[in-house]
């Protein structure tokens, strides 16, 4: 973990309420795809945890959805402004289990952390399939970015306005060696049930600190109690306990 000041170099809307922010700063603590950062915002007490979409040199890319006060404030910021950011939080995805043909499944604002993962898996020369699930065509983002990496991309929309009609699980099939997923919990649960292989899933929880101090985001797993922010957010399929 590292605390440092980042300077915004770009902050642009991708859809009605999803934004991409690119920042320049010390990214040395970011060691894995699937990690997150925790951002301090003026006038708000708790930091805001946002998953890392990409990290290249000293440029950090975040894609976030405006869901409350913090993200609304982020969306109003402009290039040149600075943010106090804790970086290198969480465990991130373990690439060593991917096999020959990993499948990446993202739902809505769960899509961004899969981008850096896809990039790393492609760099290893693997065939990577990606399923991106959205409610409707106007909410789609990042599709071209995954395609540009050379991933085989399928988009699903709940209303059928683009791509395959239905949920991500309707496009999963059986041709993959391992899966990685991030998205809303009902989607994770559906993927868990539909999946034919082992895999890793990234979870969300309301956090206090984001670095393991407050025990605010704990969950039970088959391998013991875990803090989503510290031993997570990525869990292995085999250790997950679903609570109703």
Partner 1 sequence: MGRLSVNLLGIELDNPVIPASGTFGYGYEFAELYDINVLGTFSFKGTTREARFGNPTPRIAECSAGMINAVGLQNPGVDAVISHELPLLKKCFNKKVMANVSGFSVEDYAYVCERLDAEEQVGWLEVNVSCPNVHGGGMSFGTSPEAAAEVVRAVKAVTKKPVIVKLSPNVTDVVAIAKACEAAGADGISLINTLLGMRVDIRRRRPVIANKMGGFSGPAIFPVAVRMVYQVSHAVKIPVIGMGGVASAEDVIEMMMAGATAVEIGAQNLIDPYACKKIIEDLPRVMDEYKIENLKDIIGVIE
Question: Which positions lie near partner 1, rule CB under 8 A?
Answer: 1, 3, 40, 44-47, 86, 205-209, 211-220, 225, 243
Closest approach, Cβ 107 to partner 1, in A, equals 20
- Joined together, the tokens standing for residue 232 give 């997570």
- Tell me the two tokens of residue 242: 């679903």
Minimum Å gap between C-beta 231 and partner 1 is: 12
Q: Smaller CB distance to partner 1: residue 46 or 97?
A: 46
Residues 79 and 219: beta-carbon distance below 8 Å: no
Distance between alpha carbon 80 and the CA centroid of its chain, in Å? 25
Nearest CB to partner 1, comparing residues 117 and 188 = 188
**Residue nearer to partner 1 on the CB measure, 36 or 211:** 211
Minimum distance between the CB of residue 228 and partner 1, rounded to whole angstroms? 8
Helix (H) or strand (E) holding 75, with range, is helix 69-75
| HEC sequence for 88-149 | EECCCCCHHHCCCCEEEEEEHHHCHHHHHHHHHHHHCCCCCEEEEEECCHHHCCCHHHHHHC
Q: Which is nearer to partner 1, 165 or 220 (CB)?
A: 220
Residue 234 structure tokens: 């990525």
CB of 241 to partner 1, least distance (A): 11
If the CB atoms of residues 22 and 47 are measured against partner 1, the closer one turns out to be: 47
Min dist CB 215 to partner 1, Å, is: 5
């Amino acid at each position: 973990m590292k605390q440092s000041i980042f300077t915004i170099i770009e902050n642009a809307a991708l859809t009605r309420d999803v934004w991409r922010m690119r920042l320049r700063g010390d990214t040395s603590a970011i060691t894995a795809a699937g990690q997150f950062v925790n951002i301090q915002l003026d006038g708000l007490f708790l930091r805001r945890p946002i998953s890392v979409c990409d990290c290249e040199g000293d440029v950090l890319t975040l894609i976030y959805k405006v869901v409350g006060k913090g993200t609304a404030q982020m969306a109003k910021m402009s290039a040149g402004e600075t943010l106090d950011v804790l970086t290198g939080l969480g465990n991130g995805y373990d690439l060593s289990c991917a096999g020959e043909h990993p499948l990446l499944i993202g739902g809505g604002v769960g899509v961004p952390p899969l981008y850096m993962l896809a990039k790393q898996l492609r760099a290893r020369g693997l065939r990577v399939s990606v399923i991106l699930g959205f409610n409707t065509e106007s909410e789609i983002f990042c599709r071209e970015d995954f395609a540009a990496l050379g991933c085989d991309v399928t988009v699903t929309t709940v209303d059928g306005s683009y791509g395959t009609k239905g949920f991500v699980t309707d496009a999963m099939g059986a041709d993959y060696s391992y899966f990685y997923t991030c998205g809303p919990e009902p989607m994770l649960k559906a993927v868990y049930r539909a999946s034919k292989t082992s895999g890793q899933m990234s979870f969300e929880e309301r956090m206090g600190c984001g670095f393991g101090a407050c025990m605010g985001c704990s969950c039970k797993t088959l391998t013991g109690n875990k803090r989503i922010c510290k031993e997570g957010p990525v869990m292995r399929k085999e250790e997950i306990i679903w609570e109703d």
